[in-house]
Amino acid sequence: MNRRSNLALLALILILIVLGCAKKGSITGGPKDETPPVFIKALPPNLSTNFDKKEIRIYFDEYIKLKDPQKQIIISPPMDPKPNITPLGVASKYVKIEFTDTLLENTTYSINFGESIVDNNEENPYPFFRYVFTTGDFLDSLKIKGTIADAIQKEPDSYITVALYEVDENYSDSIVYKDVPRYITNTLDTISFDMYNIKEGEYKLVALKDASSNYIYNPKQDKIGFLEETISLPKDTAKVFNIKLFKEILDFKALKPKQVSKNEIIFPYEGEADSMKIKMLSQVPDDFKTTIFPDKETDTLHYLFKPFFETDSLVFEITNKKNYRDTLIARIKDQYQDSLVVTSSIQSTLNPEENFSFSALTVIDSINKSLISLTDKDTLDVPFSIKTNRIKNETELEFEKTESNSYSLQFLPEALKDFIGNTNDTIQFSFRTTKLTDYGTIFLTLENVEEYPVIVQITNEKEEVITEKISKQQETLVFKNLNAAKYYIRVVFDSNDNGKWDTGNFLKGIQPENIKYLTEPIDVRANWEIKQTFILE
């Protein structure tokens, strides 16, 4: 064998060895990195006194980045303008904080990073790192803690701002509308809060679902909660403070009206319109007539008028019982006229607890019962009566329902006539009832009710009210004909006995009416009766 053959044989052997080794396993990336970054040092050091620098650098043992810094990083007291904090979008081995404004004298600052500091590869967080410094000789060291709940929802929102306002000679309740608080913290994604490095003093404790993240209360979009009494530190440091968030009802205000069809103007508003009145100030024809009804979904009143007449605008005076008065103008032009469109909220199945109801975009003014027929699956006529609610712009058919039946409701032409004068073409509705055994029943007993009346509500998983009953004494409440589903029970303590839940008001110092939830949902099954006791604690 010559030298060339020996070399070829050696090469073949090496190839076989490599292939044999390759069959034993393949190269992987190794185990996933689950180690968070490690803090090394800060310049100036954390907990510095007599701080007078323009920049802070916080070093870690690996490349890091900031994740969701707008939500996670909380600076207390707030700074305006906010400091520049990097890195943003790139990785670095340190966090840099650059101050763009002069710091307050003799003030302890706390920068809480939440879980924003993560490693560059796997985003493992370095949780709840806090950098604290003071521009004075010593660090303020008092703290408070507490929990956040929602006044009406079972679970509160996340990322709630908790604020302390100094109660001194300059304090008034209106401060929440115009000035940032002295100290802030955030619940992040929990229901609890801790606030550190507070100085001795008297404070007002407020919580905000701060939609604009500017620490200023805007009732149009924010929720608010507050502690009625002031906090005195250090005396109250051992307490756990509980705050309920609520959405205030805005003060009534009529907004600009708008013509939406030939004979209709809509009047949007803020607040409650229970006593809102609309008075025509313009000259109108002698036979001019109007009717008004509320929108079912929005804060709007529908204003229908007849006859239509040529004019550039109509002037209205808006008033309510609370001495509100305003003059508004609606621009008018000749538009299309609404036709009579009849709809029903009943889709296909009629619950035994319901009546068949229907409504129109234009108010139904008259009904010719002789041109309406209701028949069952055997085409037998079913006697019915008609009940009209002009305020809600809704009409109900009351009749004796039988289970497992189907019904056909027919309106012949001109059975209905609306306010404007339109009449209907032939209209047909079909719906059915199911077996009574398809439904379930809850027998509910309340215990430890300190004061009546209470409103007991059955809600679905979206916290929408399915049905409710008012109880004014110790009794067993029966909720019949419930569809098979999971339900929640909540009890509203109707302290002013007005039949509804009332929210709070910050300036008036009014807390929302209390609500208690049964902890676990109730699983209602078909043809099933559930006896449930709710012990109110």
Which residue ranges form the domains of the chain, and what is each CATH number? Answer: 39-134 (2.60.40.1220), 147-174+189-245 (no CATH), 253-331 (2.60.40), 342-434 (2.60.40.3780), 437-535 (2.60.40.10)
For residues 20 and 30, what is the distance between their CA atoms, to the nearest angstrom? 22
- Answer whether 439's CB lies under 8 Å from 525's CB: no
Task: Count CB neighbours of 485 within 10 A.
Answer: 14
Question: What's residue 322's pLDDT?
Answer: 86
Residue-wise pLDDT tens digits, 288-299: 999 999 998 999
Q: What is the pLDDT of residues 82-94, one digit of tens each?
A: 999 999 889 999 9
Answer for the pair 64, 79: CB distance below 8 angstroms, yes or no: no
Q: What's the pTM?
A: 0.85
> Which residue ranges of the chain lie beneath pLDDT 70?
1-31
Q: Output the pLDDT for position 24.
A: 45
3-state secondary structure at position 348: coil
Q: What one-character-per-residue DSSP string does 59-116 give?
A: EEEEEEEESSHHHH-EEES--SSPPEEE-SSS-EEEEEEE--SPPPTT-EEEEE-TT-
**Alpha-carbon gap, residue 66 to 300, rounded angstroms:** 45
Pairing outcome for strands 342-343 and 356-360:
antiparallel
Is 23 exposed, middle or buried, given 0-12, 13-18 or 19+ CB atoms closer than 10 A? Answer: exposed
Question: Angle CA(51)–CA(57)–CA(60) in degrees, nearest 5?
Answer: 135
Rounded CA-CA distance 428/433 in Å is 17
Q: Say how far apart CA 515 and CA 493 lie, in whole Å.
A: 6
What is the model's pLDDT at position 537?
83
Q: How far apart, in Å, do the first and last CA atoms of the chain sit?
A: 99
According to the model, what pLDDT value does residue 18 have? Answer: 46
- pLDDT in the model for residue 101: 85
Using alpha carbons, select from 302, 304, 298, 303 the residue that is nearest to residue 270: 298
pLDDT for the residue numbered 506: 97
- Maximal C-alpha separation, the chain: 127
- What whole-number distance in Å separates Cα of residue 490 and Cα of residue 152? 9
